[in-house]
Amino acid sequence: MRGGIKIMNFVDMSVDEYLEVLKRSSLPTIITEGRDDYKIFRRMEREFSDIGVSLMPVGGKDKVIQIFNRRQEYGHIKTAYIVDRDCWVFTSVPEGYDNNLIILTDGYSIENDLYRDGDIEDFLYGEEREKYYRDLDALVEWFSCTIKKYLNGEAIDLDIHPNRILDEEGKIKSPFQEFIDSISVEEDFRKHIRQEYKKFVRGKNLMALILRYLSHKNRDSKYSRANLIEMAMVKNGFHMQRFYTEISNVFR
């Protein structure tokens, strides 16, 4: 392959199976988490049209890290690893993973970085903007308590759609309010997350929350998550440029 980027079809394989693919490959490879990265980073073709690069989505951060840990087994090819920072955004990066081959998102996830690059909230109108920020305050309250639980060493689940947490008036539903009441969170911690919510609040939660309004059935112009992601990608903003720069540093 003389140039451009080769994107592997996403296949859910084991770490050992991915390693066998890498051992047989002669292409420099960017290893990413999964399907969403497949859609997002395929636009890197324009940035890396002068070299042949394979983009390999492997199905999760844990798999990317395991493959990174065994990189000596396919040391004949250059590799970079793109992963969401996830809850590392609230802690330091674990020892051994502060490595220039591992390219971390700046915010919680790639959605967070695109959310900021895309100025997505500019699509909100007056009343829906007010309702969105009302809902956001409530979502941050739940999110802060959940992260506090994580920092206390307990298992958490952030993969919860805002519609399960909030009613149509933006009030926190009973089971989640009971959870919030059971967790002690410092006000400064909650304010810190609220002030930088675009960085800290899980991007999928933010996207789902804003789509309560941007995809509403009564709206003249409706958007989907895919629309918002693509428009943010086209802007090619600060955070995406950082990805390109760090990837270029690995391969060039």
How far, CA to CA in Å, does 52 sit from each of 7, 26, 55, 208? 11, 10, 10, 35
Q: Are residues 229 and 124 part of one domain?
A: yes
pLDDT, tens only, 99-120: 999 999 999 999 999 999 999 9
Q: Are residues 146 and 47 part of one domain?
A: no
Q: Are residues 91 and 65 part of one domain?
A: yes
pLDDT, tens only, 203-238: 999 999 999 999 999 899 999 998 999 899 888 899
In the predicted model, what is the mean pLDDT of the chain? Answer: 91
Q: Are residues 43 and 22 part of one domain?
A: yes
Q: Are residues 170 and 94 part of one domain?
A: no
pTM reported for the whole predicted model:
0.91
Task: Check pLDDT > 80 for residue 9.
Answer: no
Q: Are residues 226 and 124 part of one domain?
A: yes
Examine residue 211 and state whether it is found in any structural domain, yes or no.
Answer: yes
**What CATH number is given to the structural domain containing 95?**
3.40.50
pLDDT value of residue 2:
43
Task: Check pLDDT > 70 for residue 57.
Answer: yes
* Domain containing residue 243: 5-109+237-251
Examine residue 25 and state whether it is found in any structural domain, yes or no.
Answer: yes
pLDDT, tens only, 155-211: 999 999 999 999 999 999 999 999 999 999 999 999 999 999 999 999 999 999 999
Q: Are residues 138 and 95 part of one domain?
A: no
Examine residue 114 and state whether it is found in any structural domain, yes or no.
Answer: no
Going by the DSSP 8-state scheme, the letter that residue 58 receives in this structure is -
Residue 252 pLDDT grade (very low, low, confident, very high; cuts 50, 70, 90): confident
DSSP for 129-178? HHHHHHHHHHHHHHHHHHHHHHHTT--------HHHHB-TTSPBPHHHHH
Residue 34 pLDDT grade (very low, low, confident, very high; cuts 50, 70, 90): confident
Q: Are residues 48 and 36 part of one domain?
A: yes
Q: 78-115 burial, b if ≥16 CB within 10 A, otherwise e? A: ebbbbbbbeebbbeeeeeebeeeebbbbbbbbbbbbbb
Task: Check pLDDT > 70 for residue 44.
Answer: no
Compute the distance between CA of residue 38 and CA of residue 7 in angstroms, rounded to an integer: 8
Q: Are residues 227 and 127 part of one domain?
A: yes
